[in-house]
């Protein structure tokens, strides 16, 4: 049956674990309110509660970009590996 695409099982690799951690970290950091529910230390007069959350806006952006770039790299390497195994099978 050459017409049906081959379905590969999901593979857990170190790069995919890092991608997952990059995407989960902002949720854990901002949903665990007890860790930052305080006024001190203030930063330029802004209570910790507020500037901590604003810092995570920037960190979340950076971590999402990192996860995206790692995903692209992972997909390129998987495609290249698939091309090599496809050529070997011919």
pLDDT in tens, 2-31: 667 776 666 888 999 999 999 999 999 999
Q: CA–CA separation, 49 vs 6, rounded Å?
A: 50
Q: Is 36 within 8 Å of 49 (Cβ atoms)?
A: yes
- pLDDT range class, residue 89, cuts 50, 70, 90: very low
Contacts for 51 with CB less than 8 Å, ≥ 6 apart = 42, 43
Q: Is 20 within 8 Å of 13 (Cβ atoms)?
A: no
Tell me the mean pLDDT in the region 43-72: 95
Share of the chain above pLDDT 70, in %: 83
- pLDDT range class, residue 86, cuts 50, 70, 90: low
């Amino acid at each position: 049956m050459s017409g049906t695409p081959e379905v590969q099982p999901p593979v857990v690799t170190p790069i995919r674990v890092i991608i997952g951690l990059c995407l989960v970290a902002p949720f854990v950091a901002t949903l665990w309110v007890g860790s930052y529910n305080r006024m001190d230390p203030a930063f330029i007069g802004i209570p910790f509660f507020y500037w901590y959350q604003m810092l995570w806006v920037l960190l979340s952006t950076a971590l999402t970009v990192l996860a995206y770039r790692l995903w692209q790299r992972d997909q390129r390497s998987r495609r290249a590996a698939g091309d090599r195994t496809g050529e070997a099978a011919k």
